Structure 1
Amino acid sequence: MPRDNNIDFNENFFVDSTSDEIKQEQRNVFINFITNVIANFTNRDINRFSLTVSNPQTCRDIVERCVAFAMQHGVRDLNLDFSNPKWDEDNLGDHDALFQLPSIVYELGSSLESLKLYSCSFGMQDFANFTSLKDVSLGWIGVKTETLETLLSTCRTIESLSLEKCWNLEIFNFEHEPVRLTRLMINKCDSEYFIVNAPNLKYFKYSGVVFTSDIYVRPNVIEEVYLDFALESEFNECGNELYKILVDFAPAKILTVCSFLLQVVPSGDNPVRTEIDLNVRHLILKTQMHPHEFCGFEFLLNSCPMLEKITFDIGQRAIFSAGDYETPDDGIDPKKFWQLRRVVPQCLRRSLKVIEVIGSRTTEEELMTLFFLMSTGKVLEQININLFNDDGLKERRRGRARLLANAAGKASKNLQISID
């Protein structure tokens, strides 16, 4: 519906029945709504136009009319989503693109700054017309590295590329020609190898399985890296691969890592004793504060000598059994893990000033970890604890958090602890 020159036509707001007959009636209401809006639209230009239809072949005429309408009004941000919410993410290649990008988009595409295509195929021959295009998102489509290379070399204004649930990308190879991208997001694609020369990259976000990495980013350019290996369903001794990924992104200032990395990175060829010199100033941990994550967390603490802030984003994570693999601290009572630390990480002695806890459950493991940081962090200024409250136990947790706040042994006289 139009608002501030933005139009969003979303079938999901109209069609929600399981009955085919009722579903068709609801879809007719949706199509009539679109027709009326287009007929009565009086604004001269459109800033953003979004169309979400899960079965576009059955209403091809209205889809093409929508796209033509948007392009004729000089749309700058065009989103076309023809994917089906019921598709299985584990069988990406089973879904052919349901629609072809209409030719009018290429003809009038000089005004486009952002283009999002889900289950919508496209031709490369006319992308040169997109002289203003900066942001491209592709999803639920087969796309090869060669196609992306052609896209980026043809349309040299593109700065941001997002790939979501794409296939045929097992080898993501941009080794020879430097990628001009400043932002690259990969979400649940089938990539297993990343060979990328990206000297302008500022932001990298990845969600999927562990990959083999050979990535070049430039120091003082790369700012933030987000690594999520939540698609891994079991413990794999891929610590060497995780170690190499961290090495490749060592210049980043902000680093987000998942529980899987914390649990598995110690399985490599002794990385726990061979720390990386990371440039990270803000470390964000997606964690459960489980003892299986402690070795990985300690490794990162020792690898971030200039760390200024830690954020614990606490939630329910998949905790894996390591099978026959033994961590360096196997056999140690988890309650004593932090008590037995003999070497204090450099960041705790010199740079760490802020600790933020989101969704605190005030478990014993969590409180022991915080007490270790509090008792060794010589320049700590703030510990901010945000309590989890979805189960109605917030006040009980507040009482446990106050025990931490009132505990003796704080290494920093300037430390302030807040509990929310």
Structure 2
Amino acid sequence: MARDNMELFSSILKPLLLAIVSFLPSQEATRTPILLQKWSKIWQSEENIDFNENFFVDSTSDENKQEQRKVFINFITSWIAHFPSRAINRFSLTVSNPQTCGETIERCVAFTIQRGVKELILDFPDPKWEDNDFDGKHALFQLPTHVYQLGLSLESLKLYSCGFDAQDFLNFGALKDLSLGWIEVKIKTLKKLLSICRTIESLNLKKCWNLANFDLGDEPLGLTRLVVNKCDSEYFIFNAPNLKYFKYSGVVFTSDINVRAIEEVDIDFSQESEFNERGNELCQILHDFSAANILTVCSYLLQVVPSGDEPVKMQSALNVKHLTLKTKMHSYELCGFEFMLNSCPLLEKLILDISPQLIFEDYTLPYQVDLKKFWQTRRVFPECLKNSLKVVEVIGLRATNEELMTCCFLMQGKVLEQINIKLWNEDDGKEEFRRGSAQLLVKAQKGSKNLQISID
């Protein structure tokens, strides 16, 4: 049987083998040279190369880790030495303690330059670093100067704990996508990067420090996509008239921005650990991005946004047509839920992404209401339920009272066509109960005769 299988593999045409290998996870693909020499040659013909130390080093013993790491470095060296002289599209290197293998990194960089790589990823952060502790941190490796020789071929550069010289970005005449992480990025450095390398359209900042005041000035930027993830930013000033996508994770910020072309926004304030009455600030943030068609908000916003001067809805309506709420469906989130429904009169699709969230014990009700009978006592019926909301998706339903009563309220939508429910997938012995409770919704009163309910 084994011989028959080997003959079968040998008979497969090269294009089909290449397709198979391209769909393999990288950790599986790295083992193909051991399995079959022909597969090794096929994989070497790939345009996307990913060397990840984590696929080789998985031991808890320091001695074994060192041995596995040595195997990893030797594998890279051998691989590069035998790779054919042809262009590659993407090269990614993930390695810890880069100072101890600088020669190998230099060899990898030289390899990418020779083959005119378009996307380069150098990922060097210490796996022991904690998310929010930046004290004493510094880039563990400096970008080799000859990377700048890539010039017009490089379109995407992602550097994690890898220092660089901003002035040399002048050489990157085709760079569109820049990602930086686990590194100090001063705002003057960021401004210089964007001013001298005006081809950059997508900027992704992950766990960078010294960016509390994110002030890029008034000069128009060419960015169409901006992601700021856990950089402790507290203030935003920028003029990005072409920005279409903005994603943020961190603390609540204040802002002075121009994003008139914005289409999609994802804001997550899960780094906030205390309940504060900052509803006005959250309303201002929503107002800044009011033109967006697609919006994702977090549980913190649902709990806090009604604490402002306008606790029921925004003074000026949002343009949102597709809204995702990351929620625990806790009673403390219900006022914020209502606030968002009332603030999105054009809403067509609503997703409730139910998952564990931080619920603030010191939560304060924004107005007098019985949370146990919240939806039954609503005096204002949201405009979106009257005119536009057609699809509701519930992901992770646990069949709590808050969840079921919320679904019943949404089912009163006059033009609602679909409610798609995906039950919480957890082996806790309650799946039958969840499914049975969810099935009761099928028999509940509906506001639209066209409503279809599916439960998975």
Conserved? CA contact 2:311–2:366, under 8 Å: no
The number of residues matched between the two structures is 413
Higher RCO (C-alpha under 8 Å, 6+ residues apart): 1
**Aligned residues of 2:205 and 2:228 also touching (Cα < 8 A):** yes
The answer to whether structure 1 residue 386 and structure 2 residue 422 are counterparts is yes
8 Å contact from structure 2 (residues 421, 455) kept in 1: yes
- Pick closer, same or farther for the CA change 1:38–1:222 going to 2, 3 Å: same
In structure 2, the residue matched to 1:403 is 440
Of 328, 341, 348 in structure 1, the residue corresponding to residue 378 of structure 2 is 341
Tell me, in whole angstroms, the C-alpha distance in 2 between the residues paired with 1:5 and 1:101: 23
Return closer, same or farther for 1:271/1:337 CA change in 2, 3 Å cut-off: closer
Q: Kindly state the Cα deviation for residue 20 of structure 1 after the two structures are TM-superposed.
A: 3.0
Map Cα deviations across residues 149-176 of structure 1 (whole Å, 9 max, x no partner): 1111111111000000000101111231
Q: Distance in 2 between matches of 1:172 and 1:82?
A: 25
Q: CA RMSD in A?
A: 1.4
* Offset, 1:277: 0.7
Secondary structure of 2:218's aligned partner: coil
Change (3 A) 1:109 1:393: farther
Distance (Å, rounded) in 2 between the aligned partners of 1:116 and 1:379:
45
Distance 1:387 1:273 in 2: 30
Q: Are 1:243 and 1:271, in contact at CA under 8 Å, matched by a contact in 2?
A: no
- The 1-side partners of 2:368 and 2:157 are apart by 50
Q: What residue number does 2:394 align with?
A: 357
Shift of 1:43: 5.0
Deviation at 1:77, TM superposition (A): 0.6
> In the alignment, does 2:110 pair up with 1:68?
yes
Q: Distance in 1 between matches of 2:314 and 2:426?
A: 40
The equivalent position to 1:223 in structure 2, one of 235, 250, 263, is 263
1:370 is matched with: 407
Return the structure number with greater helix share.
2
* Structure 1 alignment gaps of length 5 or more: none
Residues 13-58 of structure 1: per-residue CA shift (max 9 Å, x gap): 1223343322221111111100110011015011110111110111
Q: 167-176 or 202-211, which moves further after superposition?
A: 167-176
Which residues in structure 2 correspond to 1:75-90 (within 5 Å)?
Answer: 75-90=117-132
Which amino acid is 2:191 matched to?
E
CA distance in 1, matches of 2:449, 2:315: 29
CA drift of 1:307 comes to 0.4
Alignment-derived partner of residue 54 in structure 1: 96
* Map 1:7-406 → 2, pairs under 5 A: 7-218=49-260, 221-272=261-312, 274-322=314-362, 325-330=364-369, 332=370, 334-375=371-412, 377-391=413-427, 392-406=429-443
Question: Judging changes above 3 Å, is the alpha-carbon distance between structure 1 residues 82 and 133 closer, same or farther for their aligned structure 2 residues?
Answer: same
Structure 2 counterpart of 1:414: 450
CA contact (8 A) 1:52 1:80 kept: yes
Identity %: 68
How many angstroms apart in 2 are the aligned matches of 1:387 and 1:19? 40
Q: How much has 1:198 moved relative to structure 2?
A: 1.1
CA distance in 1, matches of 2:136, 2:270: 22
Which AA in structure 1 matches 2:405?
M
Distance (whole Å) between structure 2 residues aligned to residue 175 and residue 130 of structure 1? 23
State the SS of the aligned residue for 2:392.
Answer: strand
**Match of 1:306, SS?**
coil
Length-normalised TM-score, structure 2: 0.88
* Uncovered stretches (5+) of structure 2, i.e. residues with no partner: 1-29, 31-42
Farther-moved stretch of structure 1 (262-271 vs 119-128): 262-271
Relative to the length of structure 1, the TM-score reads 0.95
How far does residue 411 in structure 1 lie from its aligned partner after superposition?
1.0
Worse-superposed segment, 384-393 or 258-267: 384-393
Please say if residues 252 and 280 of structure 1, whose CA atoms lie closer than 8 Å, have aligned partners that are also in contact: yes
Q: Deviations over 1:205-227 (max 9, x none)?
A: 00111111222111xx2110001
Contact 2:313–2:343 (Cα < 8 Å) also in 1: no
Distance in 2 (CA, whole Å) between partners of 1:21 and 1:273 is 60
Is contact 1:93–1:167 with CA below 8 Å preserved after alignment? no
What is the CA deviation profile of residues 365-419 of structure 1, one whole-angstrom value per residue up to 9, with x for unaligned ones? 10101101112x1010111111112124333211111111111x21111111111
The question of whether the paired residues in 2 share the 8 Å contact of 1:161 and 1:181 is answered with yes
Distance 1:31 1:45 in 2: 22
1:5 aligns with 2:47: yes
Encode CA deviations 1:336-356: one digit per residue, 9 max, x unaligned: 100000110111110000000
C-alpha contact (below 8 Å) 1:382/1:415 kept by paired residues: yes
Distance in 2, matches of 1:205 and 1:67, equals 31
Please say which of residues 304-313 and 166-175 is displaced more in the overlay.
166-175
SS at match of 1:339: helix
1:262 is paired with a residue of what secondary structure? helix
**Code of the aligned partner of 2:424:** F
Q: Aligned letter for 2:366?
A: T
Q: Which amino acid aligns with 1:186?
A: V
Q: What is the CA-CA distance between 1:274 and the residue it aligns to?
A: 4.6
Query: Is 2:96–2:126's contact at 8 Å kept on the other side of the alignment?
Result: yes
